[in-house]
Every structure is written in C-alpha cells, then in structure tokens.
Structure 1
Amino acid sequence: MERDVIEIVGIDSLVPQDHLLRKIDQAVDFNRLYEIVELLYCEDNGKPSVDPVVPFKMGIIQHLHGLQSLRRTARR
C-alpha cells in the first residue's frame, strides 16, 4: 500500500440501501427529538453539546444488536 494515496469514500457506499437502520431513518422523524429536548440545552453557556439525535440512535443500535457497551455500539 502506498501511504500518500487518498481515498474518498461516501457513507452511502458503506451502508447497503436495504439496511435496517436506513429503513428506520426513513420511517422516524428524528427532528421531533430537537423539540422534545430543546429546554434541556443552553445555547449561550458551556461547551457545545453532542447532537441529541446521536445518543438516541446509538440506543436503537444497542437494542437491535443486543450490545451492552458503548464502545461496541460505536464500533458497530
């Protein structure tokens, strides 16, 4: 392998079109989560937070795959 070669890969090529998580993403309106958690976040105080949709989606992945660890979930 050459070290100076750069390969650009799109996320669409990594996840099959018929994958269960794509179907869930199409079926669920994750934008609703922003409305639900809006009062829990402060825009002008502290560090920027993690997008609230990310932990919610990680919880879905944990449940679907029976994963107990956050590291395993992130790897998955």
Structure 2
Amino acid sequence: MEWERGEIRWYLDGKLWQTQNKWSTPAAPFPAPFDEKFHLILNLAVGGKFVGAPNVATQFPARMEVDWVRVYQLAKQP
C-alpha cells in the first residue's frame, strides 16, 4: 500500500490492484482522510450487508495466509 496526499494505492504480488483518490466524508473537507495518520490491519472479515452475505447455515473454509508485509517511510518530497 502506498499512501500519499490525495491517493492510496494497493498492490498484490507487486502489481497495482486498486487506487483510491476520490473520497467524501461529511466529517471533514478534502483531502480527508488522506491527510491523516493511519495503521494497517490484516484480517479475514466475513459478513455485513453486502450481497451474498453468509448466514448461520453457511459453511465455508476460511484461511488467510500472509507471506510478508513490508513497511517503510516514504522519503519527504520537496
């Protein structure tokens, strides 16, 4: 994941997977939330109100394997 002012980019196996550069929140003006400190959470979450959400009868094996995570500080831009 690369987090810069105005944009977040996610990578999977070294390839760009998703870019988010548009966001709106009534809590704060742009560039929120891109201008705040964040942390990274790795989890396997199931459920919610999305289409096809599982119920108590749903059976599924679930496993999340993370080979590695690299964290580094981006050099300050002039």
Q: TM-score, normalised by structure 1?
A: 0.22
Report the structure, 1 or 2, having the larger helix content. Answer: 1
TM-score w.r.t. the length of structure 2 is 0.21
Q: Which one has the bigger strand percentage?
A: 2
